[in-house]
Amino acid sequence: MATAQRGAWRDRNSLPRCQGSRDATSCGGCRDSDGEVPDSPYAHARHKLETLLNRNMRIRMTDGRTLVGCFLCTDRDCNVILGSAQEYLKATDSFAASEPRVLGLAMVPGHHIVSIEVELESLGSPQYL
């Protein structure tokens, strides 16, 4: 009985694997380590977000504040975590723009984000690990 089970196990593992067929959705073997189809829009979006990791960003919020910091992570609700964040207040008639306020690690709720700008890479920019 034990030999029959070993044989059945061996047969299951020796099934032909997908070798990159064009119809990746029909095959369970054409997925990356996170279970995504490599050429899907989700995989493309994930790759784009991964290229933005540890880059400096400027996030403008609905209340007029601007946060500048290092992009660390996001979630499905579009909340963003910035490291080494600084807050800049919008200048109004009652007061002038002042020095930035250092926040450190900051979570920006996705529903308060108006725009996100990514700083272009320069040779002298510090690298965050």
The pLDDT profile of the chain, 129 residues, written as one tens digit per residue, is: 444 444 333 333 343 444 444 444 445 556 666 666 778 888 898 899 999 999 999 999 999 999 999 999 999 999 999 999 999 998 766 666 678 999 999 999 999 999 999 998 755 555 544
What is the spatial distance between Cα 121 and Cα 23, in angstroms, rounded to a whole number? 37
Instruction: Output the pTM of the full model.
Output: 0.64
Strands 113-118 and 101-108: unpaired
